[in-house]
Each structure stands twice: as structure tokens, then as C-alpha cells.
Structure 1
Amino acid sequence: MFLSQVIDNTIKKLKTQLANILTMTNLFLGGFAIIFTLHGNLSLSLLLIFLAALADRFDGLAARKLKSESDLGKQLDSMSDIISFGVAPALLMYEGILNVLSVPGIFFTILYISCGAFRLARFNITESNGYFTGLPITAAGCILTFSYLGIPYFPPQFFLFLTLLLSFFMVSPFKIKKV
């Protein structure tokens, strides 16, 4: 009887924390992506950012399905997202191509991270109404990461422009319906 209660309580706690576990998985993958970028393994970094996007997709689904949405979960998700879809893709692109542009490459890398942080902060203080205001950082980060594959085919200025465009879209006032 006692063992059964312990197992039931453990399962219940795991269910309530599943979304946070997935969010922390997102954070870990983004952190590892940054480390691998710093060590020159850009292809592995790209893979880890996309795996972080999968974890990010499922953390919200798990929270809603298990009715475990919380303010803590929302804040933790945003902090994870700035790592996995702000810093990691920006650093990947900087190391992959933007560094050849010197000061503009540095500036637009930091601008992208700053706009991502602003977008997440704005999201955290607004009520959910079925729409996102501006491009979600997850989408921007995935687009920027995916563009890494085009480095052999496009000049560095293309990536500078893309970084600027994604930065602008994240902080812009347009609405995107949530799916």
C-alpha cells in the first residue's frame, strides 16, 4: 500500500513538472549549442538549436494538456528561449559568417539578441488573446539557424540584412495568430 502511494505521488509530481522538464531540456540544448559554436562545431550547434525548438514546441503542449500552466513556467520558458533562439542562433551566425563584417557583424548580432529579449519581455507582460505581437523568437531563431545552410551560396551582407529583418519583425506591432 505504502509503495503504491509513493509511486502514485511520484507520477503525479512528474506530470505536473513535465512541461518544466521540457523547458529545461530546451535550455540545456541551447546552452550546449552555444558551447559547441564556441568550439567551432557549428553543424552540431545547428542540430541542437532545432532539437531545442522541438522541446519548446512540446513544453507548452504538455503544460496545457496536463493543466500545469504557471507564471513560473512562462518565465522559465522565456529565459530558455532567449538562450536557445536568441543567443545560440545569433552566435552561430556570427561565428559562421557575420564576423567577417567586423563592427556591423557584431552590432547586428547583439541587436538580434536585444530585440529577442524585448519581444519575450513584452510577451510575458501581456495577456494571451490568441495572437502573438511580432514574430515569436522561436520562429526567428529557427529561420536564422536554417539560413546558416545558405552560407556557401549568399554574401555576408545577405545574412546581415536577414538578421536585421528578423530583429525588426520580433519587435514590430503586427499580430500573428497562434497555432
Structure 2
Amino acid sequence: MFLLDVFDQTIKKLKAQSANALTLTNLTLGGFAIIEGINGNLNLSLLLIFIAAFIDRLDGMVARKFNIESELGKQLDSMSDIISFGVAPALLLYQGILFEFGAPGAFFTVLYIACGAVRLSRFNISETIGYFTGLPITAAGCLATLSYLVIPYYPPQLFIFIITILSILMISPFKIKKI
């Protein structure tokens, strides 16, 4: 009987930490995407960002399925998201094209990261149920990352426009229904 209780408690603890483990996997992938971007491996950086997005989607589903949503998990998710969908995609675009603009390219790169941080902070203190206010950083990060794929086909100025629009959309007041 004792071993059964210990086993049951262990399973409960593992379930309780499963979403946080996925969230930390998201953060780890974002961290490696940044490192690979710095090292010039931009295609690998892109792949890691998209895998992080998949893991980010899973962590929320696991938290809801096991009913283990917590304030710690919410904060940890935001810290992971700023790395994986704020810094990593911004660096990818900077390394891929925005560096050509010098200081303005750096400014718009940092603006995107700052707007992502504001968007996540606003999300963490709001009580919105059923909708997001502004474009979620995961979506913005995936769109920024996708835009990297078309760099050879469009003029460099388009990417200043893209990163600026994504920045504004993240902090805008419009509402998006949660899926």
C-alpha cells in the first residue's frame, strides 16, 4: 500500500510539472536559436524557433488538460516567450537583413523586442478570458521568422516595415478571439 501511495504521489508531481518542463524546453530552443543566429546558422535558428512554437502550443494544452495552470507557469511562459518569439526572431531578421540599415536596423530590432515585452507584461496582469489584446508574441514571432524566408525576393526596406507593423500590432488594443 505504501509503494502505491508513493507511486501515485510521484505521478501527480510529474503531471504538475509537465507543462513547466515543456515551457523550459521552449525557452531552451529559443536560447539555442539565438546562439545559432549569432553563429550565422540562420536556417537552424529558424527551425528552432518553429519547434519552440510547437512546444509553446503543447505546454498550454498540457496545463489545461491536467488542470495545472498556475501563476508561476504563466510567468515562466512569458519569460520563455520573450526569448523564443521576441529576441530570437528579432535577431534572425537583424542577422538576415536589418543589419544593412545600421543604427535604424538595430533600433527597429530592439523596438520589436520591447513591444513584445510590453505585450507579455500586459497579458500577465490582465483578466481577459476568451480573447487576446493585441497580436500574441508567438504569432508575431512566427510571422517575423517566416518573413526571413522571403529575404532574397523582396527589397530590404520591406523588412523594416514588417518588423515595425508586428511591433505595433503586439501593443495595439484590438481583440483576437482565443482558439
Question: How many residues matched?
Answer: 179
What aligned pairs does 1:56-71 form with structure 2 within 5 A after superposition? 56-71=56-71
Deviations 1:126-145 (Å, cap 9, x if unpaired)? Answer: 01321100000000000000
Q: Which amino acid aligns with 1:157?
A: Q
Distance 2:117 2:168 in 1: 12
Q: Deviations over 1:97-144 (max 9, x none)?
A: 000011110000000000000000000000132110000000000000
Q: Which residue of 1 aligns with 2:160?
A: 160
* Unmatched segments (≥5 aa) in structure 1: none
User: Percent identity of the aligned residues?
Assistant: 70
What TM-score do the two structures reach when normalised by structure 1? 0.97
Any runs of at least 4 consecutive aligned residues in structure 1 with deviations exceeding 4 A, and if so which? none
Cα distance between partner residues in 2 of 1:138 and 1:109: 16
* TM-score normalised per structure 2: 0.97
Q: Distance in 2 between matches of 1:43 and 1:3?
A: 49
The Cα RMSD (Å) is: 0.9
SS at match of 1:173: coil
1:78 aligned onto 2:78: yes
Q: Where do 1:33-48 residues align within 5 Å?
A: 33-48=33-48
> 5+ residue gaps in structure 2?
none
Q: Distance in 2 between matches of 1:106 and 1:158?
A: 15
What CA distance in whole angstroms lies between the structure 1 residues aligned with 2:128 and 2:54? 22
Partner of 2:172: 172
